[in-house]
Structure 1
Amino acid sequence: MRVGLFLFHESRYPSADAQVIDEAVQEARLAEAEGMDAVFLVEHHFDGNCAYVDPPTFAAAMAMATSRIKIGFAVLQTSLYHPLRMAEQIALIDNLSKGRLIVGLGRGSLVNLHEYAGYQIDPDTAQERFEEIEDILLKCWTQEKVAHAGKYWNFEIPMLRPRPYTKPYPQTLRSVASEASLAAQARLGRPVLMAAATAPGAARNIQIYRNAAREAGLHDDAIDEAISQCWVARTVVLAPTDAEARDVGLPYFQQMQTYRAAQSSAFEAQVAKANASGRLPVLCGSPDSMMDDFTSLAKTGIGGVIVRFRTGPMPADFSTRALKLFMRDIAPRIRH
């Protein structure tokens, strides 16, 4: 199983933005130095939940700040973009990174309606826009003259430049947030990005994927190959001891929940449901205490795990120490 860093740095105050952005760059460099396989970027606007805001711009910086590590999106909020601009940006970053890009696409936030409002996008049209944009991206990357006539965009261009560095185009994955969307991608044999709070939850998702793919007539070898290209996102509160993780680290995660819940009633409902279950919605503890969860996850056959170490107002030294602990004690047990 590959291991990736989920670079999801919160900045609550404008005065802290520059520092938090710098810390995000440093954490990505540390991930490469520690031998991680990928760094994944997130996208949120207008609320401080993601300090660097614009993942394509930040990915270009990552391409220059690193030399080996894969650079992924988890995910681009596709419905907020103009498709031609998006196609150009991704092709350029693919060239700058010399083919290190993993393009994770999603329709847009399920909880932050203020993002749609800011970009003047009706959230009820987000899925349609997403489908049309993905079709345009693939056309632009694989064809020369491109003519498109759709519901939201109509254009004709002689050629998209630059051409992607990766042939025919960078690996492109969809984010899935429901069983139906997971099964739909499985029937196509497409790898996905998913979230799962526990290893059993990830195993259940993998079984849903296998069942849907088999029902669509895919052979087991093809299914195994697709699953080996999937990634699952996890959040951890990791410290040298269980007590420090619980008493020092966990409050940062809880402050993140409170901060986001105040901005979004949908997120508030998610937090309330998670807390009502009586189980922590995050892995919390020392490397030894979460080892079984990660080794169980590796046994599902999934290709990679994207780990978020920093949540809420957590200081950089706490999350970077956690990254080092993970790579020293857990990663050797779960990697290929």
Structure 2
Amino acid sequence: MLRFSNFLFPESRDPDRDAEVIADSLAEARLCDELGVEVLWLAEHHFDGNCAYVDPVTFAAAVLAATKRIKVGFAVAQVSLHHPTRLAEQLALLDNLGKGRLVVGLGRGTAYNVYEYQGYGIPHEEALERYEEAEGIMLKAWTSPEGFTHQGKHWTLKVPRLRPTPYTRPHPFVIRAASSEQGALHLARRGLPFLMNVQSNETTAKRLAAYRAAMAEAGFDAAHVARCMEESWVWRNVVVAETDEEARRIGIPAFEAMQEHRKALRERIYVEQGIIMRKEDAPPARAQAELALIAGSPETVAARMAEIEATGVGGVICSFRLGPMDAGTAARSIRLFMEAVAPRFAAPAARAAAD
């Protein structure tokens, strides 16, 4: 059974419209809760308008208060930009507010936008080591009833017992992002599920096969491998309309405009400062509509989702509101997806109940 979630990633090009887009985002969260979407994923991006609400930790509190059932996850919190003790406290509070509905998606931080690190006064070269040290601190903070001390490269801490105590024991569910095959295999060897960025279906199938094989080679049994696959998610951009032609008419210009906006500020920083984090000689899969966008009628989208289901992954993170797309268009796409696509992948008992 393939599960579905929504990546709430709203673009705001005009600073004067930020409040409007944030309000639209909260309305989209309520709609997803009403329609039975399993998880609402929140992003973290700063300074460029690529994600209007900017801070997923703060925004998650609003979403949890406005919804009843849907889980709220991070895809991902940029851990290298946060103090780990503070972040652990905030997430423990969110876990209590949502009564266990929080999914803590963790990542080191962006691999593309150097200005996000500059704005926080953090050398981007330190992002990975800060993330790894911070993750260990957070796990200790959630699970050390007597408190703990930490002597590391970036933090020296003497932490009393963390309050509030997490609602979920021993701590909120944690999942890590892996944007490369090497990252996915690293998590496989630890026996952990992961969040996969946008890739072609061919790359997704190959990476997941390698992930399963690495986990088995590390000594995890078939049941554990199956659980990790079930808890892993892949990301796609999705537009559903009544016909293929209508979906492509809406989806392709929005997708292309979104990609242009996402690279504009980092290219300006490169011109001004000569700094670039990752040079791309060819457009990556995430920037190519034919690979990264699923746009079509319910029948077409369902067929593409069936291809993803065949890889064995547990769920798809669907981005519905792309770039300058208006909130109403995104809402119609979400509703059509949940009413005409998602039921085809429900368990037999659930399909029978729906009928």
Query: Partner of 2:61: helix, strand, or coil?
Result: helix
Distance across 2 between alignment mates of 1:78 and 1:41: 14
- 1:68 and 1:274, CA in 2 relative to 1: closer, same or farther beyond 3 A? closer
Residue number in structure 1 paired with 2:203: 201
What RMSD, in angstroms, separates the aligned Cα atoms of the two structures?
A: 1.8
Give the TM-score normalised by structure 2.
0.90
- 1:275 and 1:218, CA in 2 relative to 1: closer, same or farther beyond 3 A? closer
Distance across 1 between alignment mates of 2:299 and 2:291: 17
After superposition, the C-alpha distances for 1:100-120 in whole angstroms (9 at most, x for unaligned) are 010000000011110000001
Amino acid at match of 1:225: R
Distance across 1 between alignment mates of 2:211 and 2:286: 28
Distance across 1 between alignment mates of 2:320 and 2:154: 39
Distance across 1 between alignment mates of 2:62 and 2:234: 24
Question: Which of 315, 324, 344 is matched with 1:333 structurally?
Answer: 344
Conserved 8 A contact 1:238-1:285: yes
Distance across 1 between alignment mates of 2:40 and 2:286: 29
Conserved 8 A contact 1:237-1:250: no
Residue number in structure 2 paired with 1:324: 335
Residue number in structure 2 paired with 1:131: 132
Distance across 2 between alignment mates of 1:2 and 1:317: 24
Residue number in structure 2 paired with 1:15: 16
Give the TM-score normalised by structure 1.
0.95
Query: Partner of 2:150: helix, strand, or coil?
Result: strand
Q: How does 1:72-91 map to 2 (within 5 A)?
A: 72-91=73-92
Distance across 1 between alignment mates of 2:41 and 2:185: 24
After superposition, the C-alpha distances for 1:166-221 in whole angstroms (9 at most, x for unaligned) are 00001101100111110010011101111233433322221011111111111111
- 1:38 and 1:271, CA in 2 relative to 1: closer, same or farther beyond 3 A? farther
Conserved 8 A contact 2:259-2:287: no
In the alignment of these two chains, the number of paired residues is 336
Amino acid at match of 2:293: V
- 1:194 and 1:295, CA in 2 relative to 1: closer, same or farther beyond 3 A? same
- Cα drift, residue 301 of structure 1: 2.6
1:174 matched to 2:176: yes
Distance across 2 between alignment mates of 1:244 and 1:269: 32
Question: Which of 280, 288, 308 is matched with 2:299 structurally?
Answer: 288
Distance across 1 between alignment mates of 2:281 and 2:300: 26
Amino acid at match of 1:235: N
Question: Which of 157, 176, 197 is matched with 1:155 structurally?
Answer: 157
Query: Partner of 1:104: helix, strand, or coil?
Result: strand
The runs of 5 or more residues in structure 1 that have no matched partner are none
Residue number in structure 1 paired with 2:117: 116
- Cα drift, residue 235 of structure 1: 0.7
Distance across 2 between alignment mates of 1:247 and 1:105: 35
Amino acid at match of 1:189: G
- 1:10 and 1:213, CA in 2 relative to 1: closer, same or farther beyond 3 A? same
Q: How does 1:1-336 map to 2 (within 5 A)?
A: 1-144=2-145, 145-265=147-267, 269=280, 272-274=283-285, 279-336=290-347
- 1:221 and 1:51, CA in 2 relative to 1: closer, same or farther beyond 3 A? same
Distance across 1 between alignment mates of 2:68 and 2:137: 30
List structure 1 segments (4+ residues) > 6 angstroms apart after TM superposition.
Answer: 275-278
The runs of 5 or more residues in structure 2 that have no matched partner are 268-275, 348-355
Conserved 8 A contact 1:199-1:294: no
- 1:69 and 1:270, CA in 2 relative to 1: closer, same or farther beyond 3 A? farther
Query: Partner of 1:279: helix, strand, or coil?
Result: helix
